[in-house]
Structure 1
Amino acid sequence: MDFCANNVLLPSQSGKFIVTHGNLVKINKDGVQKVAEQILNAAKDGTLEEALFLSPELHPKSGDRNAVQWVFLVDTINFSFWPDEGSHYDVTWNGKTYTGYFAGCAAVNRALASGTPMFSAEWMKNVKIDEIDAIFKSDSGHSIPLLEERVKAINESGSVLVDKFGGQFYNLLGKAEKSAQTLLRLVVEHFESFRDFAEFHGQKGKLLGVGDIHKCKNVAKALN
């Protein structure tokens, strides 16, 4: 699938199109300017990186190959953690209870600590729904929301890694040649579950990003 196939706008183009054609939300330009200055200052003094990714205790602190594989695996299952009515999604890890996205991270870390080979693309490719259900089961006994969809995404991602990238996501990083836009194109091209497109005023667009890989500390080491 070509990145711009079917007249799908790039993320930056999508944002501009939505702002131009939207009529239910107004942009506070003074507020945008103020936030932009705060982000710029945080980027300059190094606090932005820590605030966005490194500070949460569940995220990897290194930039090795396992950290890259962790990010890809977690991003593969990172969608819609809203539980059904009457259900809860909470996971306790190292004495702390998490909900939503962080509950998913805690479940992954818990499984890795128990020896589950979640970094293995072969495991991802072949893992069954019962095992994924057990891994991501909440403290309250409820399954992770959209369990079947997540199993499908994990299986599909594992198959692609095995068939095209030697079982490792960092091999795809090398093909991106340090370009975030190229990496985004490659991910969307090869991994169906990441093709998260929507239509607005008759135009298909996407609001995808690849920032999580960049936020792994010293991630360049994974490409050595």
Structure 2
Amino acid sequence: MGSVVRESARYVCSQSRHVKIVGEGISRVVAGLTEEELRKLSSPASFDADLHFVDTSSKAAEALTVQYLLVVDALNFCFWPDPELEYAQLSLGIKRALQQDPGVLHASRLAVAQGADVRALLGWKRDLPQQEERARLLREVGQGLLRHFDGAAANLVAAAGGSAMSLVELLAAHFPGFRDHAIYKGRQVFFYKRAQIFVGDVYGALQGEGLGAFHDIHELTMFADYRVPVVLRVMGILRFSAELDSKIGAGQELPPGGEEELEIRAATISAVEDLKEALSNSGRCQAAGAAVPITIQLDWFLWEVGEREREAHPPAHHTLTIYY
């Protein structure tokens, strides 16, 4: 799945009219990374455990952590219609709900979830954006787990046999809401943002051990969303057309599956791949005593920059979608 996402991104970039990757910007970023940043980049510890429920004290606790991550990533999309809602409210809200009621994420309860249940999971006092669609996706997860994996996301992960790519394929096969693809200029293209981020979250939360041990974790791409493109623009790695820049600045929604939206996502994927390659070729990681980071570690780093600087950064693009 990682290869098909990369191929899709390269194809879109080769045809793109609205978004360009700036090689000079990549070189500047590589040269500007500190040794501390380079060492942090290559560690599974760069996953933000404080934002999530993570318990590795036993196999049962590890399984509950995986169940939590699947629910979070089933709902991990489209926060912007509520200006006070961010990813932290999702991850921390579900963490609190789970700590208060260890059975709240049981597949049998997910399978009958309604909009009010989604709101209760997050502890949100008003309706969520796309609340009923989020409830439908929770039901899909609960029903799929019961039908195919004895109700447990841990069984889903185990069925992948230690392969990140097989786990992405299993998610897409059994849970239609994770099938993140579109048609660009007559060709089907694939992104699989939420499917890939679930695998990355399992790897990061479990520190690459136990259920989080994937022999091909390096095959995952970055997770094409709305926050990282802003960071890459500020860094001088992505350049938008004047028309697209004007639309985003004015808060105009970009239609899902439209040329502009797909070009933003594709260029983000390819730019992060280019950044990883430039880091490898520079020798800076090796000089700092660090390994070259895998793609998802670069994604975590860039996303954290975006979260930290979101008040100072220009606005992100707005697309009403279930994919990110």
Give the shorter-chain TM-score range: 0.7 to 0.9
Separation in structure 1 between the aligned mates of residue 143 and residue 153 of structure 2, nearest angstrom: 12
Separation in structure 2 between the aligned mates of residue 171 and residue 42 of structure 1, nearest angstrom: 37
SS of equivalent residue, structure 1 residue 26: strand
> 1:30 is matched with which residue: 24, 40, 56?
24
TM-score, with normalisation over the residues of structure 2? 0.55
**In the alignment, residue 24 of structure 1 is paired with which amino acid?**
H
Aligned-residue offset at 1:135: 3.0
TM-score, with normalisation over the residues of structure 1? 0.77
**Alpha-carbon contact 1:133-1:143 (below 8 Å) kept:** yes
2:137 corresponds to which residue? 153
Deviation digits for residues 107-133 of structure 1 (CA, Å, limit 9, x no counterpart): 212211221623311111122333223
Deviation digits for residues 81-127 of structure 1 (CA, Å, limit 9, x no counterpart): 122xxx554xxxxxxxxx31111112212211221623311111122
2:148 corresponds to which residue? 164
**In the alignment, residue 78 of structure 2 is paired with which amino acid?**
S
Aligned-residue offset at 1:66: 1.4
2:186 corresponds to which residue? 202
Aligned-residue offset at 1:46: 4.7
1:67 corresponds to which residue? 65
Separation in structure 2 between the aligned mates of residue 191 and residue 43 of structure 1, nearest angstrom: 36
Distance 1:67 1:22, change over 3 A: same
Separation in structure 1 between the aligned mates of residue 20 and residue 143 of structure 2, nearest angstrom: 43
Residue pairs, 1:22-101, within 5 angstroms: 22-33=16-27, 45-48=39-42, 49-51=44-46, 53-55=47-49, 57-63=50-56, 64-83=62-81, 88-89=83-84, 99-101=85-87
Separation in structure 2 between the aligned mates of residue 151 and residue 107 of structure 1, nearest angstrom: 16
Aligned-residue offset at 1:184: 1.0
> 2:88 is matched with which residue: 102, 106, 119?
102
Percent sequence identity over aligned pairs? 25
Aligned residues: 200
1:215 corresponds to which residue? 204
Aligned-residue offset at 1:59: 1.6
**Alpha-carbon contact 1:132-1:151 (below 8 Å) kept:** yes
**Alpha-carbon contact 2:69-2:202 (below 8 Å) kept:** yes
Aligned-residue offset at 1:223: 7.6
**In the alignment, residue 80 of structure 1 is paired with which amino acid?**
C
**Alpha-carbon contact 1:54-1:60 (below 8 Å) kept:** no
Separation in structure 1 between the aligned mates of residue 146 and residue 111 of structure 2, nearest angstrom: 8
SS of equivalent residue, structure 1 residue 81: coil
Distance 1:116 1:66, change over 3 A: closer
Separation in structure 2 between the aligned mates of residue 118 and residue 29 of structure 1, nearest angstrom: 47
**In the alignment, residue 14 of structure 1 is paired with which amino acid?**
S
2:168 corresponds to which residue? 184
**Alpha-carbon contact 1:136-1:144 (below 8 Å) kept:** no
Structure 1 gap segments, 5+ residues each = 4-8, 90-98
**In the alignment, residue 71 of structure 2 is paired with which amino acid?**
L
Separation in structure 2 between the aligned mates of residue 178 and residue 116 of structure 1, nearest angstrom: 27
2:11 corresponds to which residue? 17
Separation in structure 1 between the aligned mates of residue 90 and residue 53 of structure 2, nearest angstrom: 14
**Alpha-carbon contact 2:107-2:143 (below 8 Å) kept:** yes
Distance 1:62 1:37, change over 3 A: farther
1:95 corresponds to which residue? none
Q: Over aligned residues, Cα RMSD in angstroms?
A: 2.8
2:242 corresponds to which residue? none
Separation in structure 2 between the aligned mates of residue 120 and residue 38 of structure 1, nearest angstrom: 46
